């Protein structure tokens, strides 16, 4: 969880294990994700869910990511 989700969001194809952990945890420290995570995430999944993940710094696993369309 060191920018991996942001890197994955910039890719056309994303593959992750079901137990992989991911999230935009920088926002927990009041730091804006620097690699475009706040731009790519709402374009990739439902904007309402993207806002929840960004605002709460929620960490999700690979199964949840798959259900969300990541």
Active site members: 6, 26
CA dist., res. 49 & res. 61, Å (int): 15
- Does residue 60 contact residue 25 with C-beta atoms inside 8 Å? no
Whether 57 and 25 have beta carbons less than 8 Å apart is answered as yes
């Amino acid at each position: 969880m060191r920018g991996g989700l942001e890197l994955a969001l910039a890719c056309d194809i994303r593959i992750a294990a079901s137990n992989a952990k991911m999230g935009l945890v920088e926002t927990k420290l009041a730091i804006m994700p620097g690699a475009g995570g706040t731009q790519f995430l709402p374009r990739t999944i439902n904007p309402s869910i993207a806002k929840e993940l960004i605002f709460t710094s929620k960490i999700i696993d690979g199964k949840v990511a798959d259900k969300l369309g990541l």
